[in-house]
Amino acid sequence: MSTKTVLITGASGNLGRKLAQHLADRYTLRLLDRTARHADVIAADLSVWDKKWVEQFQGVDAVVHLAADPTAEVAWADLVAPNIDALINVFAAAAQTGVKRLVYASSNHVMGGYKDVAQPAKLTTDIPVKPGTHYTWEGSQPMDSIAYGGAKLFGERLGKCYADIHGLSTIAVRIGWVRGGANEAATIPANAEEWFRLMWLSNRDFGRLFERCIEADPTLPFAIVNGMSANTNMRWDIEYTHQLVGYEALDNVDQDQG
């Protein structure tokens, strides 16, 4: 059996580098990013349609779209190019070149409005969306992620559209909290809000989850899954993720990683 070719956008970022390292010995990789900070990454501004970067999608089995401005409190004006225009172009390029599977990095912020309400007790992917989380970081002014969450929701709906109209199998992953670097549970700041702490996703669980999404049933048209580690007492449902794509979380924010 020939090795699949997987294209990762945003390959120089936090998530992109972690995923590329996890998949390096499993697939043939093509790595794109607006800034090619690593020798294996091709520079491409995905917010501007260009046949040169579109050619990189030729012969690709699966695309993992991670490219975006990850700043959750960013304003709408700063989201348009990296989080909306680039998103639209990537879906169009994938459909145009015959890609079979697109795994889209959605976000927990699509459901951020549930942070301050107790019900429902379990956050599944079939309840109404509530984009945008209200929060503060160390000594900061109150912030919200309404624009960011709204843009991620748009990506989910665009994926549904491309699945229905173009037959592009799409899995949107509502990613939890993946901190930079080693991303160890023990280094999470003590003053981190429980909402964020309990959606922690370890590096190895992140890699395993996206690998399972790449390998999921090719006849699956469209799905949304939650992406967190197996954190005790979290509200996020990952049982459906397990059932749909075979994801087995290994880590727990309240236990040492193995």
Q: Which residues are catalytic?
A: 148
Backbone Cα Rg of the chain: 17
User: Is there a contact between 252 and 230 (Cβ–Cβ < 8 Å)?
Assistant: yes
Contact 241, 225 (CB under 8 A): yes
Distance CA 50, CA 79 (A): 20
- Kindly report whether the peptide bond that precedes residue 218 is cis, defined as omega within 30 degrees of 0: no
- Round to whole Å and give the CA distance between 178 and 146: 20
Residue entry with tokens 């709408």: 76
β-strand partners of 200? 177
- C-alpha dihedral (31, 174, 215, 44), degrees to nearest 10: -20
